[in-house]
């Protein structure tokens, strides 16, 4: 069995701040990490590998530095990795990103594809399902438990707003996973050694066989028109004075709102 795990290298967005004077992002010193949800996808793949002897290949699309994410994946136990990287991929939205991943995955062979439910920098949750559509395979999103896996089928629990569904699918299938699924392992010492020595195989636009009009900015239907900081409320009222005064004033306002 072949399992492919798609990961994304993202800035640790919990470290990103806005500079209040310029209304721009302060990214200085912000570390890059593997998207946290993707670690749960990798852990799920490694657990299936332990049970069935499947081969786990981790892929990422990104700039040359995304190699670090792949080395981390090897240290956790991935058998093989591919870095999908080409200048022509820059500026890709979810459509163009999914298209490139699909082209690469087609070349690799697969029974199960695992992705995090979304990336913490974009939060779109689109790439997984789009890859499945391009590959013309079924997908199940928001997996919180894998109940059963065989060579031909899989049974999982899908998280919904008001509970969960138990869903079966034939293989091949793509799954996107939530954090409740498992706890990602730490890299082993042996894994770290392997990661250090590993030669990272790259795939560029020619290798994956994509056309320029379907990748990167050119292949992207959406464009960012502008970015801006959220606007302030004009009618804000600051409550000042001693703590006693502030609390008294707040209670008066709450009374006015018939909250007390």
Partner 1 sequence: MRIVVNIERCTGCGQCVESCPFTSIEIKDGKAFINEYCQLCRACMSVCPEGAIIEIMEEGDVVEADLSAYKGVWVFAEQRDGMVVSVAYELLGAGRRLADELKTELSAVLLGSSEDQAKELIKWGADRVYHCNDAIFDKFNDEPYSQMLVNLIKTHKPEIVLAGATPIGRSFIPRVAAKVRTGLTADCTALEIDKDSGNLLQIRPAFGGNIMATILCPNHRPQIATVRPRVMKRGEYNASRKGEVVPVSASGITGRTKVIDTIKEASECMVNLQEAEVIVAGGRGLSKPEGFKMLEELAELLGGAVGASRAAVDEGWVAYSHQVGQTGKTVCPKIYIACGISGAVQHLVGMQSSDIIIAINKNPEAPIFNVATYGIVGDVYEIVPLLIKKLKEAKA
Which of 153, 193 has the CB closer to partner 1? 153
194 belongs to the binding site for partner 1 (CB under 8 A): no
Give the shortest CB-31-to-partner 1 separation in angstroms: 11
Which of these segments, 6-14, 104-112, 188-196, 197-205, binds partner 1 (CB under 8 A)? Answer: 6-14
Name which of residues 171 to 190 contact partner 1 (CB under 8 A).
173
148 belongs to the binding site for partner 1 (CB under 8 A): no
228 belongs to the binding site for partner 1 (CB under 8 A): yes
Q: Of 47, 125, 194, 198, which one interacts with partner 1 (CB under 8 A)?
A: 125
Token readout for 111 is 């029974």
Q: Of 47, 49, 91, 194, which one interacts with partner 1 (CB under 8 A)?
A: 91
Q: Of 45, 158, 195, 210, which one interacts with partner 1 (CB under 8 A)?
A: 158
Burial of 87 (0-12, 13-18, 19+ CB in 10 A): exposed
Q: Which residues contact 239 (CB under 8 A, 6 or more apart)?
A: 246, 249, 250, 253
Which of 2, 169 has the CB closer to partner 1? 169
Q: Which residues contact 206 (CB under 8 A, 6 or more apart)?
A: none
Rounded to 10°, the helix 94-108/127-135 angle is 50
106 belongs to the binding site for partner 1 (CB under 8 A): no
By CB under 8 A, the count of residues binding partner 1 is: 96
Which of 193, 260 has the CB closer to partner 1? 260
Rounded to 10°, the helix 36-52/67-76 angle is 40
């Amino acid at each position: 069995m072949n399992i492919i795990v798609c990961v994304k290298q993202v800035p640790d967005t919990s470290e990103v701040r806005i500079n209040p004077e310029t209304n721009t992002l302060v990214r200085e010193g912000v570390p890059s990490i593997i998207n946290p949800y993707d670690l749960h996808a990798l852990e799920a793949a490694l657990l299936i590998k332990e049970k069935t002897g499947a081969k786990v290949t981790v892929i990422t699309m990104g700039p040359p530095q995304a190699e670090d994410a792949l080395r981390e994946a090897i240290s956790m136990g991935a058998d093989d990795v591919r870095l999908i990287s080409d200048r022509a991929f820059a500026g890709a939205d979810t459509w163009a990103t999914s298209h490139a991943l699909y082209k690469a995955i087609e070349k690799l062979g697969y029974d199960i594809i695992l992705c995090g439910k979304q990336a913490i920098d974009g939060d779109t949750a689109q790439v997984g399902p789009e890859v499945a559509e391009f590959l013309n395979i079924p997908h199940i999103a928001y997996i919180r438990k894998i109940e059963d896996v065989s060579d031909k089928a899989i049974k999982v629990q899908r998280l919904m707003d008001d509970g969960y569904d138990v869903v079966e699918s034939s293989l091949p299938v793509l799954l996107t996973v939530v954090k409740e699924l498992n706890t990602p392992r730490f890299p082993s010492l042996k894994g770290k050694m392997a990661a250090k020595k590993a030669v990272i195989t790259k795939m560029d636009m020619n290798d994956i066989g994509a056309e320029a009009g379907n990748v990167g900015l050119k292949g992207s239907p959406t464009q960012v028109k502008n970015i801006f900081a959220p606007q302030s409320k004009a009618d804000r009222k600051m409550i000042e004075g001693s703590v006693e005064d502030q609390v008294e004033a707040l209670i008066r306002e709450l009374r006015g709102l018939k909250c007390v």
